A and B are shown apart, each in its own frame.
Chain A
């Protein structure tokens, strides 16, 4: 089948989707072959590749609430949220890591055919195979990844962040945390020899839309990885297999998946996403672009929206905190709707720009109350209330409800209401 035919067939299938007809899987399901010399084990064989217990049901959900698992070929949703409320510890399983690729399916890349090109304002343009990247010194680091639209108004009603029945997955499902392994980008750039006057790099992916993102050279030389490993194995296709950029602490859009090229340049290249979709439009009509770093943020994951307490008694309040600014220094919890705050226990391991688990011993007396958490990072920046965040943007808090023009970086304190019957609801009011 030549690629033109395949493209035309896809187009026809998707034209059918536009007409509202059900379609089958668009992307072929060819897996990564183990190579001809080894017998191929079934991916379903739990003796050769483990699976979780059949009693564990935690799954990702469609970003806009439109995805129907019964129709996996219907791509009306452009991404998937991680089940934040079910998380334990700090690491997100790769199978549950949130997915945003602006609607593009993962390309089916044979790692033996894949290359990374580094060129532009360098003395020695270089092209690397995956095998060559793995020969270079590797580092392993724990970092969160967060989409800048985490908690943006979205979903069928446009109100995920204020809907009373919203779960932590609905409100905070676009952050995940992994153990990433790869080669520091600085090693590759130094090998290529960055020329004087170079100030930015442009990373480019291999998916159909060939996503590009401009990143300042200071960051590229600092802690950015070309990652090939996630949680002890190869990246999953949805996470950029075989290689991706990992840009610690910065908006998810920087972390270019299916990385094929890095061009060293002297200005931001103003790709479509970075110049027209990710700037924050203010009420005065001006837009802030290139916001880079994700702010300090925390959320109580247990108890959280949609869960149910079985009755009065002891519960450990458990949650996650993270900041693009570095290490989480402390987390406070309020069990009275923000009137009083007490220090929570930070439960290691504590890593810079990583999910950090906190706990707080709590005896529920069976009465109505509201639970909240707020964190402070190593620079002393504290997670804001919605009112403080609104003041920062010089808007009324209701602005965050009525429009999506400042969609990103909504890192306000998240309240969960505990009802007398033990049910838990989203209590965010804007």
Chain B
């Protein structure tokens, strides 16, 4: 049976090679460790628990002043929106109608998303130009104008994640830990009804 040895030998060698690759990804000297500053400069995504929120704070009163100077031109003096920017208030009680108005107050499930989005993407064409305190203040202003907080409430890394948004329970599945499994959720045909 000498032939069997030579017949299988290459396969054995291949398997060994495959196993070695699987066990030790290696890829020597590809990629380097980033510096802490490099990570900090980019790490702007805020999760729902707000642990990435930076030091700083703001209030709706301060936010009103900034809004007038930098946001009103698109979002409107009464946050009513325009053809180029969505309304930021209103819509309560419209979600079951054929023309729902989905705003921060009537629809958005997480307060942390407001901070995250203003900081990364607002104001349009001047993205990244707001200070952290300005972002906290504008977040507070939008929350206040949706009657979710009081005008004097201080919004910061501790208070913001604790704010319960009115429509937080309007999404299925409600529990974040259940979202990742489409099978459990009965999705079919590219839909999860």
The chain A residues found within 8 Å of chain B, CB to CB, are: 4, 7-8, 10-11, 14-15, 18, 117, 119, 124-128, 132, 135-136, 187-188, 190-191, 199-200, 202, 204, 208-210, 212, 216-218, 260-261, 263, 265, 267-272, 275-276, 279-297, 323-325, 381, 383-384, 389, 392-394, 399, 402-403, 405, 409, 411
Contact = CB atoms under 8 A, between A and B. Distances in A.
Nearest to B190: A295
B180 A216 contact: yes
A427 B181 CA distance: 37
Interface of B: 25, 27, 30-34, 38-39, 42-49, 73-74, 82, 84, 95-96, 98-100, 102, 107-110, 112-113, 116-117, 120-121, 123-127, 129, 170-172, 176-177, 179-182, 187-193
A411 B171 contact: no
B33 A381 contact: no
Contacts, number: 195
Contact of B171 (A265, A279, A324): A279
Contacts of B27: 135-136, 187, 191
Contacts of B177: 199, 267
B53 to A, nearest CB: 13
Contact of B109 (A126, A127, A188, A270): A270
A191 B25 contact: yes
A125 B33 contact: yes
B102 A296 contact: no
A403 B99 contact: yes
A285 B170 contact: yes
Nearest to A204: B45
Interface of B: prevailing SS:
loop
Contacts of A190: 25
A407 to B, nearest CB: 11
B176 A268 contact: yes
B39 A294 contact: no
A344 to B, nearest CB: 20
A180 to B, nearest CB: 20
A271 B126 contact: no
A393 B30 contact: no
Contacts of A132: 30-31
A267 B110 CA distance: 13
Report the 6 A-B pairs with minimum CB-CB distance, sorted nearest first.
Answer: A295-B190, A216-B180, A272-B117, A126-B31, A295-B189, A285-B95
Contacts of A389: 189, 191
Q: Which among A191, A269, A281, A282 has the greatest number of chain B C-beta atoms within 10 A?
A: A269
A403 B34 contact: no
